[in-house]
């Protein structure tokens, strides 16, 4: 009899599960809290370290009486908590701190050779006689940029009482692994929210034929950053990078949506740090409905995100095959000003 009851219970559970409607996550940027989402803010000249991370100095509906003793970030934290308290079912609010890695050797090489020569010729090589830019490491400038951001976090934690990230994620590329470590190590973090980032494959830079976007092995990452957690399913070797080919921007946005879905469906944290790349953060901003806001190396952008769980299947998205990148057999002059691969020595698309 007990076996019959058990089987009946299992069948009932399976039947109930089959009736559960599929769900999908929809994202939108909640504007009016950060200067970076204001269309009048000039992204080129913006400095997050002189503007309190861009947090707008304003009153909130959640402000208590006599709130002058609270910092803007303390009041913002109350505001986010209030938004989550009164949010309808299926809606929650998250704050993303997205930081671009510091300057890397690949950035220096592109600046030295010029973008046309870099894209056409040098980017598909591992380096030159002086430096290696495959899976580029931070330059001395990049290290100093990350250390400066660490100092800024210390100041914000001590003076502004900024809510620190509760979880940390990073791209698997070395420049981001280094940047995350330099940015968050040594901060006065709560014991329950230590800096132990999770390495996630899909937070990597746009997948191109450039060797700077080819990651190291799982073993290398584990040995170089033993305190980091590597997500389940992370392959030993890079299965996504392909020489002379790259993903489209449409596919990158699909990838960004996928990794955000993964994070938001499994992580209950309200404040989340992501250390990534200019192209990938730009893609995430598109997925979140945020205005275009390019980041310089080492820069950080916070975004207040509304996450809504709705019924229905996610829209069908068919990934495209990687496209061939444009290369040339010898580099154009450093003074070249176009990247259209029309040089006499160009092989065209290969």
Show which residues are catalytic: 101, 205
How far is the first Cα of the chain from the last one, in angstroms, to the nearest whole number? 69
Find all residues with CB under 8 Å of 78, minimum gap 6, and list them: 60, 62, 63, 64, 70
Residue in this structure with the two tokens 């450039």, named with its chain if needed: 210
Classify burial at 227, counting beta carbons within 10 Å of its beta carbon; exposed 0-12, middle 13-18, buried 19 or more. Answer: exposed
Find all residues with CB under 8 Å of 146, minimum gap 6, and list them: 101, 102, 138, 178, 179, 182, 183, 298
Residue 269 carries which DSSP code?
Answer: -
- Give SS3 for 323: strand
Find all residues with CB under 8 Å of 22, minimum gap 6, and list them: 311, 312, 313
**Which string of DSSP letters, residue by residue, matches 195-260?**
--PEE-GGGSPP--S-GGG----HHHHHHH-TTSEEPTT--SS-SS-BTTEE--HHHHHHHHHHHH
- In the chain, alpha helices (H): 2-19, 72-86, 105-113, 115-120, 140-155, 174-184, 218-224, 249-266, 278-287
* Residues 288 and 305 sit within 8 Å (Cβ to Cβ): yes
What's the angle, vertex CA 152, arms to CA 305 and CA 155, rounded to 5? 100
Nearest CA to 272 out of 102, 81, 37, 93 is that of 93
* Residues 200 and 259 sit within 8 Å (Cβ to Cβ): yes
* Residues 310 and 26 sit within 8 Å (Cβ to Cβ): yes
* Residues 54 and 34 sit within 8 Å (Cβ to Cβ): yes
């Amino acid at each position: 009899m007990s076996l019959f009851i058990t089987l009946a219970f299992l069948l009932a559970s399976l039947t109930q599960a089959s009736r559960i409607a599929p769900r999908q996550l929809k994202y939108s940027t909640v504007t009016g809290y950060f200067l970076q989402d204001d269309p009048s803010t000039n992204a080129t000249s913006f400095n997050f370290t002189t503007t309190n991370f861009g947090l707008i100095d304003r009153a909130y509906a959640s402000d208590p009486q006599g709130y002058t003793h609270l910092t803007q970030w303390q009041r913002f934290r109350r505001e986010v908590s209030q938004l989550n308290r009164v949010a309808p079912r299926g809606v929650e609010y998250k704050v993303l701190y997205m930081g671009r890695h510091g300057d890397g050797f690949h950035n220096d090489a592109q600046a030295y050779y010029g973008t046309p020569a870099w894209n056409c010729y040098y980017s598909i090589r591992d380096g030159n006689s002086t430096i290696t830019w495959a899976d580029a490491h931070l330059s001395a400038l990049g290290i100093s940029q990350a250390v400066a951001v660490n100092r800024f976090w210390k100041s914000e934690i001590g003076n502004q009482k900024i809510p620190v990230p509760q979880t940390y994620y990073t791209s698997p590329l070395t420049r981001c692994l280094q940047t995350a470590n330099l940015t968050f190590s040594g901060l006065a973090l709560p014991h329950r929210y230590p800096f132990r980032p999770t390495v996630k494959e899909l937070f990597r830079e746009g997948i191109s034929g450039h060797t700077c976007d080819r990651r190291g092995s799982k073993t290398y990452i584990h040995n170089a950053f033993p305190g980091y957690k590597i997500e389940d399913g992370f392959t030993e070797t890079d299965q996504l990078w392909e020489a002379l080919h790259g993903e489209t921007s449409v596919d990158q946005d699909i990838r960004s949506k996928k990794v955000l879905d993964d994070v938001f469906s499994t992580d209950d944290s309200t404040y989340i740090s992501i250390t990534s790349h200019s192209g990938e953060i730009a893609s995430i901003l598109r997925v979140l409905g945020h205005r275009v806001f390019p980041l310089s190396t080492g820069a950080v952008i916070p975004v207040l995100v509304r996450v809504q769980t709705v019924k229905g299947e996610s829209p069908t998205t068919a990934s495209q095959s990687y496209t061939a990148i444009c290369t040339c057999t010898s580099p154009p002059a450093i003074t070249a000003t176009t990247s259209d691969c029309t040089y006499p020595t160009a092989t065209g698309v290969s």
